[in-house]
Amino acid sequence: MAQSNQSANNNDIDTAKASKPAKRTRSTRTAKPTRTAVSPVFKARLESHREELERLFMSLYNDSAAFDSLLEAMSTAYAERPTDLKRLDKAREADPEWYKRGDMFGMTMYTDLFAGDLKKLADKIPYLKEQKLTYLHLMPLLQMPHPNNDGGYAVEDFDNVDPSLGTNEDLANLTKKLRRAGISLCLDFVMNHTASSHRWAKAAIAGDPEYQDYYFCYDDRTIPDQYDAVVPQVFPGSAPGNFTWNEEMHKWVMTQFYPFQWDLNYRNPKVLVAMMSSVMHLANLGVEVFRIDAVPYIWKELGTNCRNLPTVHTIVRILRIILECVCPAVVLKGEVVMAPKELAAYFGTPEAPECHMLYNVSIMVNLWSALASRDVRLLKTQIDKLNALPENCWFVNYLRCHDDIGWGLDEDVEREIGIDPLKHKEFLYHFYEGAVLGSWSMGELYNYDAATRDARSCGTTASLCGIERAIITHDKPLLETSVKRDLLMHQTMAFLRGFPMLNCGDEIGQLNGWDYKEDPDRVADSRNLHRSKFDWDKAALRKKAGTLQHELWEGMAGLREERHDPCFAPDAWVSTWDTFNDAVLAVVRKVEGETLVGLFNFSENPQHAHLNTSDDIINDPVDADLEPYEARFIHL
């Protein structure tokens, strides 16, 4: 990708002038890159990585000219990096595990639903500071088609903010204000595909063979059928197949997600260089964390299932090296919805790291399973598997986000403990839609497949925990119990290895937004049930004692207070412990001289927990009687 025509800054960090972020346009993409003098800082970083970077790049492409283009893009991006961000780079190089500190506390939200646009969001920073946030993940905000954009994951311009949300300058101003407030901004970077309205796709549709090679385009079904024979479908119900026929182009194009999302061809070095250039451009606008979306899918190999291929890790490692050379303040968060055995590879090794952290999808699913079944055995086993991963593996823990709950439990473990995987999955998704006797939940199904009997679940934390049903039925005892469930789930999530992230609205018990059914542009996607506008009137009640909002707000403050304990240090030893009670989870945290035990009762009934001793960890037996849905923390 051609670089911005913004004037290059050739000086080092101490003398560089802050540059104003430029909005990239088509003309800037095609302009010839300006050669820049190499900064000593950039040169030193590059030299320490160049041999590996070149070896990895050439293993994919064997194209020296393309590699030179990548180096030029990196040099230009460093030259354009603003002074304050270079200072941040220097600070983060001295504190590389900054994102592992116990005081890390995150939130995820949609810009438009929370505030309207980026300028208005900047005005809401005091609300974020009130929660002592250190991490803010904004859902996709780059230019997208409307209305079919898969919640922003169909991107038609990776260099510019969507006009409905603001400008690149608004984004840069927001990130600067967030940094002053101690908050790092995370944005999604959608690596696997573009929108079908992206300029590359438009050129391909117009018949340009160069841009058709940016995607997977075929004249007939011969090769698509070979892929389809072994590649699983992502959305078999709502978007069956992995290819879509484009009538204008008269070709089949690979679309693993939705027909309006065209898979990128990373076998083409131009694609990689262009996408890396966009990442660096966004980093220079002040983005500090990139959630790389659908990363296991990005490399396609005929005859394979096109998931988790070794070349995927080559590309992620290349991206990590680029960031460490150009903008080492930036970290990578991978979205890897895979079994625990697949996860370690996405962290790389201490010698050749890839992602800094991953979304903890499996624990999220197991938490909801444990709550419905009052049985923590699957959850405990999953925590044990993740805790057994190498020390460089770090997670962002959460209960709800923009997406559905996909019931991807460990079926082998289910069978070992006498659970029928399919029946348990059906129980869970029917339970959380309120269709099981005794259910307190009010959610909806997503992507139900009658043939496989598979489905996912939607809803806010509060509504899934019973708060909405209690309010509708004026059931005060149910409301009290439901609030305890809600807080138990958050307390458990925040106690695990990694750092916690709230879904915006969880802090005030925001309920489902059923009005999405009245919007023709949103009604087809039940995930919109938990994608509703933030209720600022309800948020105002957070300071009024006796309200639901105040109780949950204070509960979240308790989570932050809990995590100031020394046992939440990045190097803390973390393990589950047997409680001799399937309804109670025990997690032990230990640092030198300090041991903290967390006990979590996932039942509506009182429970007893017993923890045996172990040398140097638990010296005396622990016995505790827990109230329904109680979380208790014990210093030993």
Q: Residues 569-623: pLDDT tens digits?
A: 999 999 999 999 999 999 999 999 899 999 999 999 999 999 999 988 999 999 9
Name residue, tokens 């803010």.
136
Average pLDDT (552-579) is 95
Checking if the pLDDT of 96 tops 90, the result is: yes
Q: What is the pLDDT of residues 293-311, one digit of tens each?
A: 988 999 999 999 999 999 9
Average per-residue pLDDT for the chain? 93
Band (pLDDT 50/70/90 cuts) for residue 24 is: low
* b/e map 368-405, b = 16+ CB within 10 Å: bbbbbbebbbbbbbbbebbeebeeebbbbbbbbbbbbb
Band (pLDDT 50/70/90 cuts) for residue 492 is: very high
Checking if the pLDDT of 228 tops 70, the result is: yes
Checking if the pLDDT of 31 tops 80, the result is: no
Tell which wins on pLDDT, 250 or 344.
250
CATH fold of 37-190+274-359: TIM Barrel (3.20.20)
Contact 156, 144 (CB under 8 A): yes
Question: What is the C-alpha separation between 322 and 292, in angstroms, rounded?
Answer: 15
Average pLDDT (144-152) is 93
Question: What is the C-alpha separation between 482 and 72, in angstroms, rounded?
Answer: 56
Task: Give pLDDT, residue 389.
Answer: 87
One of 89, 150, 263, 335 is an active-site residue; which one? 335
Indicate where the chain has its CATH 3.20.20.80 domain(s).
37-190+274-359
E runs forming strands in 512-630: 573-577, 584-591, 594-601, 607-611, 622-626
Checking if the pLDDT of 30 tops 70, the result is: no
Average pLDDT (508-530) is 96
Residue 256 host element (H or E): none
Checking if the pLDDT of 22 tops 50, the result is: no
Indicate where the chain has its CATH 3.90.400.10 domain(s).
199-263
301 is catalytic: no
Considering only CA atoms, which of 132, 141, 140 is closest in space to residue 107?
132
Task: Give pLDDT, residue 268.
Answer: 98
Average pLDDT (342-368) is 92
Average pLDDT (263-270) is 98
Cα dist. 586→138, 449, 578 in Å?
33, 36, 7
Considering only CA atoms, which of 617, 544, 620, 630 is closest in space to residue 584?
630
Checking if the pLDDT of 261 tops 90, the result is: yes
Least confident of 67-76, 190-199, 385-394: 385-394
Name residue, tokens 């083409």.
268
Task: Give pLDDT, residue 38.
Answer: 76
Q: In CATH, which of 3.60.15.10, 2.70.150.10, 3.40.50.1970, 3.90.400.10 is domain 199-263?
A: 3.90.400.10
Q: How many CA atoms lie within 13 A of 601 on its CB side?
A: 20
Question: What is the C-alpha separation between 629 and 488, in angstroms, rounded?
Answer: 6
Task: Give pLDDT, residue 10.
Answer: 35
Task: Give pLDDT, residue 21.
Answer: 47
Question: What is the C-alpha separation between 113 and 109, in angstroms, rounded?
Answer: 8
Cα dist. 434→431, 437, 629 in Å?
5, 8, 20
Does pTM surpass 0.85?
yes
Band (pLDDT 50/70/90 cuts) for residue 37 is: low
Average pLDDT (349-377) is 95
Query: What SS3 class is residue 282?
Result: helix
Considering only CA atoms, which of 256, 180, 257, 246 is closest in space to residue 218?
246
Q: What is the pLDDT of residues 150-189, one digit of tens each?
A: 999 999 999 999 999 999 999 999 999 999 999 999 999 9
Question: What is the C-alpha separation between 420 and 61, in angstroms, rounded?
Answer: 47
Say how many C-beta atoms besides its own lie within 10 A of residue 208's C-beta.
Answer: 13
Would you state the torsion angle of the CA atoms of residues 279, 285, 286, 289, taken in this order, to the nearest 10 degrees? -20
293 is catalytic: yes
One of 150, 162, 288, 293 is an active-site residue; which one? 293
Q: What is the pLDDT of residues 425-483, one digit of tens each?
A: 999 999 999 999 999 999 999 989 888 999 999 999 999 999 999 999 999 999 999 99
